[in-house]
Structure 1
């Protein structure tokens, strides 16, 4: 019976990983490990293979990332960024493998959709049949929207949902259009001009703007899909971020756009045919039974446009826990990320005519207060002007302002009645991130301003174009959302005399 190390010694699996990292299929098809290397010759390390190392030179991804048990036990840290030539080492250690979104030749687009339940966080692992069935209507809705515009993405099944991935070649005429609508704040620009860590080179201003632009266009596409979800029978709430909802299982579909609230050099995506062992190392989150009893899974593609192949839901769920089946599947397809300039062009034309585009212009144009003046501006915000639930977030921002639900509550409140420009709401949130509230996150590395700007833009943009109808923005719904952190509920003072619905204008 195969284990993950046997599986990673299958040349078909390695070929598919190389293609996803930008190695042309014409090169990967000649890669061979020799007769039965993957089954019986575990003493021979893939890291020593010069032919594999040579192929990694052709990758367009900037770096690779490994995550898994070996690193936790030997490095006391869950993940590690490595140079491309270390791919063999990642395989030898049986790690989950990721590639950077930052690419030398392309701008990568990624839509990350997942099921989540705050009440039963391990449910997607324990009962994938029911959870993926709940995702299926929205998956069909999103594919319909993508196909409508002419996108033909590669769709990869992850632990709790899907990645929809496409690329635009930087030599494409559309690349300049992306630069024109992209925006990079000064704080992020400073980071892009630095080298070190996982960066052998600077992130050019053009790369930064294209990354911002593709995020805006994906944001627009997600809004369009949310408007259409009822036509496809999507009955679960659809949120941007893991927003707390008040149904019995506190379950929803999360369209995770957090990638676009971080610098380009900080984000990576899982490779097709990589193992998925997150639940094995997160027993406190998913539950001890799930961690102990659910086997390592495999991130296999559901739809590969280069081959026109699509798995049924049954085939997907059966193969993702079967090493030999997945290796055989890897031999039947290719996983090159599809170039989708045609789809992007059509989406861009619709975006130009949209209220969201006007909002993004309005948002990028505004200027936040200079940090030197925060004691006289953001710090003087009177917390008595807002309900206790909002005041508590701003007075005790750690960990409240790390939670999408709490950020959305602040944005909905302060952007109501034209109180605050959304860019200043982001400035207020940034001013909390950059103060000593005991943050465990290194904001100097992740960019506090970009995080604040990104999440504020997501929720203010939904208000601006009517995607957020604020049906749950009332005190009863806020109470039903339950516990925010530890034993602290979202509603910190029931019957306080304020009404959240009064801020729904």
Structure 2
């Protein structure tokens, strides 16, 4: 059964547990570390947006909270790659049958490690309740850090956010660090392309670059997410789970999983993957307090420095098709906000299928769902839009107050999120990683993403247009009404 607050407090009081937490924070407990802040979670709320200085950590451990550390660091640029099992119909599946859920991730987990190892990167490998985290770091005084700075592009709004949003301790993200994190996001995107290419052919279930709805099998709509969406947000907003923290996500999602299911779950802890231990045994260990305590006595949670090893990955990215696409993507600019009434707002929605029209007209919360953003990107690409302007169109929805976004964009930047989706999904297609096999109405129905039933439209014509455009290198070419297809296909 799940631990109560008193039991979690006792767990955190252990010397070995505190040493391991301190290591991951880049220092010694409770004296602090190189992490800029931590973000706690309680039984009722993940609280990722609540940031606290490290000196306040003992109080939250005493409350039995789960702990996340900032990717923002005083000395390093932290790289993080997250893979996890997602089931849209049975969200508790991974907790109730972890052996199966983690077994399905094995092709992706192997691909990540094989690719990183081939570059000489030996990440800290962590197990969480739903999957794997891989963490490594680059020193801010290194040559590769400067190369990442050179890759990074920041929107004007993100630059202003970094200039006006201090950490709980008062410091701001320095311009170089902000650009380096943006550049790292591009390189991680390249890495994720490789992972998807290698793992997709070996995986029993779909592998996507975000939590994207897929068709159902006997276990529901299940997939493995190579989740790089943290690079859609500013450095000030993102954190990673601390090893030897309690894992409270099932309790936080009782509303979705059901009280009965959550009540019968054992406790779960985030742990480093033990060396020489089979996955099945590790999954048992992370659910037993005594074994987690013993693991803490003999393991390390120090984040490996991959400053030199990263250089080869960065060099490969610089020579890649994806880098060329990124350069082309950033050649364009969003239309200025004061011109949106005469530009993006005047988009002729009669040219798009009703499902995309609905997403654009009611973006909250449809346009926050990666699969819906993906459909918008695909359709607008088929109509000849440059992908950067697709980002501008999405941004124009994110930034309008009448869509009642509330606190959605607290510590986040709508322009960066919009560009991320436009860049990610158009880049997957432009580089040949995505051949649009699911871009049809039948797949949309199977994915429960047919948003307008019996609309009389067939989105396959947009797929045909896109494939034709890629073959003839006509992406980003207008006019809208040509689609660059033979007349009989229109």
The verdict on a shared fold, with TM-score over 0.5 as the criterion, is yes
Q: Secondary structure at the match of 1:220?
A: helix
Flag the 1:412–1:280 CA change in 2: closer, same or farther, 3 A. same
**Offset of residue 395 of structure 1:** 1.4
- The answer on whether the counterparts of 1:113 and 1:255 sit within 8 Å (CA) in structure 2 is yes
Flag the 1:146–1:292 CA change in 2: closer, same or farther, 3 A. same
Bigger Cα displacement from structure 2, 461-470 vs 423-432: 461-470
Deviations 1:372-419 (Å, cap 9, x if unpaired)? 0000000000111111111111111111101000000011111125x1
Matches within 5 A, 1:254-293: 254-293=225-264
Flag the 1:492–1:369 CA change in 2: closer, same or farther, 3 A. farther
- The answer on whether the counterparts of 2:399 and 2:414 sit within 8 Å (CA) in structure 1 is yes
- The equivalent of 2:25 in structure 1 is 21
Deviations 1:234-256 (Å, cap 9, x if unpaired)? 22111111111013211000111
What is the CA–CA distance in structure 1 between the aligned matches of 2:116 and 2:128, rounded to whole Å? 19
What is the CA–CA distance in structure 2 between the aligned matches of 1:195 and 1:100, rounded to whole Å? 15
- The equivalent of 2:16 in structure 1 is 12
Matches within 5 A, 1:228-377: 228-230=198-200, 233-248=202-217, 249-302=220-273, 309-377=275-343
- The equivalent of 2:147 in structure 1 is 177
Among 69, 84, 87, the alignment partner of 1:99 is 69
Unaligned runs of 5+ in 2: 468-490
Among 118, 125, 130, the alignment partner of 2:100 is 130
- The answer on whether the counterparts of 2:39 and 2:48 sit within 8 Å (CA) in structure 1 is no
Deviations 1:90-121 (Å, cap 9, x if unpaired)? 11000000110000000000001100011111
- The answer on whether the counterparts of 2:382 and 2:466 sit within 8 Å (CA) in structure 1 is yes
Unaligned runs of 5+ in 1: 29-51, 304-308
- The equivalent of 2:394 in structure 1 is 429
TM-score in terms of structure 1 length: 0.87
Bigger Cα displacement from structure 2, 283-292 vs 203-212: 283-292
TM-score in terms of structure 2 length: 0.90
- The answer on whether the counterparts of 2:165 and 2:411 sit within 8 Å (CA) in structure 1 is no
Deviations 1:190-235 (Å, cap 9, x if unpaired)? 010114463611111100111011111111011011111156x322
What is the CA–CA distance in structure 2 between the aligned matches of 1:291 and 1:444, rounded to whole Å? 30
Bigger Cα displacement from structure 2, 389-398 vs 188-197: 188-197
- The equivalent of 1:408 in structure 2 is 374
- The answer on whether the counterparts of 2:40 and 2:47 sit within 8 Å (CA) in structure 1 is no
- The equivalent of 1:33 in structure 2 is none
Flag the 1:12–1:129 CA change in 2: closer, same or farther, 3 A. same
Bigger Cα displacement from structure 2, 187-196 vs 322-331: 187-196
Deviations 1:138-163 (Å, cap 9, x if unpaired)? 11111111111111000111111011
**Offset of residue 479 of structure 1:** 1.3
What is the CA–CA distance in structure 1 between the aligned matches of 2:293 and 2:456, rounded to whole Å? 58
Matches within 5 A, 1:381-420: 381-416=347-382, 419-420=384-385
Deviations 1:313-338 (Å, cap 9, x if unpaired)? 12211111111110110110111000
- The equivalent of 2:422 in structure 1 is 456
- The answer on whether the counterparts of 2:80 and 2:136 sit within 8 Å (CA) in structure 1 is yes
Hey, which bits of structure 1, 4+ residues long, moved more than 6 A? 76-79
**Offset of residue 12 of structure 1:** 0.3
What is the CA–CA distance in structure 1 between the aligned matches of 2:193 and 2:208, rounded to whole Å? 10
What is the CA–CA distance in structure 2 between the aligned matches of 1:227 and 1:275, rounded to whole Å? 34
Q: Secondary structure at the match of 1:193?
A: helix
- The equivalent of 1:201 in structure 2 is 171
- The answer on whether the counterparts of 2:142 and 2:307 sit within 8 Å (CA) in structure 1 is yes
- The answer on whether the counterparts of 1:245 and 1:251 sit within 8 Å (CA) in structure 2 is yes
What is the CA–CA distance in structure 1 between the aligned matches of 2:92 and 2:466, rounded to whole Å? 34
Among 438, 444, 456, the alignment partner of 1:495 is 456
Q: Secondary structure at the match of 1:124?
A: helix
Flag the 1:257–1:77 CA change in 2: closer, same or farther, 3 A. closer
Q: Secondary structure at the match of 2:330?
A: helix
Flag the 1:349–1:374 CA change in 2: closer, same or farther, 3 A. same
Flag the 1:310–1:454 CA change in 2: closer, same or farther, 3 A. farther
**Offset of residue 502 of structure 1:** 3.5
Bigger Cα displacement from structure 2, 203-212 vs 454-463: 454-463
- The equivalent of 2:119 in structure 1 is 149
Q: Secondary structure at the match of 1:108?
A: strand
- Taking only aligned residues, the RMSD between alpha carbons, in angstroms, comes to 1.9
